[in-house]
Amino acid sequence: MGRVQGKVALVTGGASGIGLSASVLMAKEGAKVVIADLNEKEAKDAAEMIKNQGGEAIGIFLDAGKEESIRNAIETTVESFGTITVLVNNVGLTNLHKDLDVVNLDLDEWDRLMNVNLKSVLLGSRFAIPHMIKAGGGSIINTASMAGLTGDSTRSAYGASKAAVVNLTRYIASQYGKDHIRCNGVAPGLILTPAAQNNMPQAVLDIFAKFNALPYHGEADDIGYTVLFLASDESKFITGQTIQVEGGHYMANPSISDFNDYLAKSQS
């Protein structure tokens, strides 16, 4: 029996990276999976791949920036597989060029990121929850980010949208827990999805490697397995939480290594 046997999962942004990993892992463990993505072809290709591996999946179009499209994705899931019991609100956008510090960020970009990163979580949950209640319960999993738990010199809109996702997670968990609906988040640090791997300069990778407690980078499956756990009944007493999956990068006081250097020098 698979870890999520019999569950019906919709994964937004499921055609690549973290969403694809979560989709493949949940399908391997017995869930019926709907991969919903702006890139419809890649969503359908991913579903084909899952079917070739013996799983059950369909790929559909979704624009997470549009209310009607989100409603359609939920309805298509229910029409195709009879219900929805797992919703992975995974779509999230960032923009290094327009989403800057508070004085200089582009306000249209602020609105776009709040819409796609935050409002999509609200709407996906709003449309899925009545079906989950009918089904006797469910699990909502939101992809947040460590950028929603820390401050930074730039990407203010991204960070604020992800911080709001962390707290919306608590509100959903508070409001629907008695209906057996759990809501949790996962906050990735730097994850080397194929897209990130191709675009990330070595110098940036080296900085992350230096500050990770662990001697390696995060991969999509590190988040995918966390989503699988939160989707499964193994996590049945966990709700309202956002699990940090970040290699210990943000765990220690960053001044410690400089302080140790200072101590070593002053003692020599």
Ligand X SMILES: NC(=O)c1ccc[n+]([C@@H]2O[C@H](COP(=O)([O-])OP(=O)(O)OC[C@H]3O[C@@H](n4cnc5c(N)ncnc54)[C@H](O)[C@@H]3O)[C@@H](O)[C@H]2O)c1
For ligand X, how many residues bind (rule: CB under 6 A)?
Answer: 27
CB 241 to ligand X: min, Å: 16
Instruction: Point out which residues pair with 37 in neighbouring strands.
Output: 61
156 touches ligand X (CB under 6 A): no
Burial class, 83, CB count within 10 angstroms (exposed 0-12 / middle 13-18 / buried 19+): middle
DSSP letter at 218? B
Q: Which of residues 134-153 bind ligand X (CB under 6 A)?
A: 143, 145
Q: Which of 139, 267, 37 is nearest to 57 (CA)?
A: 37
Whether the CB-CB separation of 74 and 124 falls below 8 Å is answered with: yes
Distance (Å, whole) CA 245 – CA 247: 6
Single residue of 193, 235, 239, 242 touching ligand X by CB under 6 A: 193
Map residues 44-63 to x or -, x wherever contact with ligand X holds by CB under 6 A. ------------------xx
Shorter beta-carbon distance to ligand X: residue 1 or 96? 96
Is residue 251 part of the contact set for ligand X (CB under 6 A)?
no
224 binds ligand X (CB under 6 A): no
Interacting positions 80-99 with ligand X (CB under 6 A): 90-93
Please identify which residue in the block is written with the tokens 């369909």.
58
Report the nearest approach of ligand X to the CB of residue 186 (Å): 8
CA–centroid distance for 241 within its chain: 13
Nearest distance from C-beta of residue 148 to ligand X, angstroms: 9
Q: How far is CA 81 from CA 34, 85, 131, 182, 215, in A?
A: 9, 10, 12, 21, 42
Per the annotation, the verdict on 158 as an active-site residue is yes
67 binds ligand X, rule: CB under 6 A: no
Q: Which positions lie near ligand X, rule CB under 6 A?
A: 12-13, 15-19, 37-39, 62-65, 90-93, 116, 143, 145, 188, 190-191, 193, 195-196
Which sequence positions are flagged as catalytic?
Answer: 158
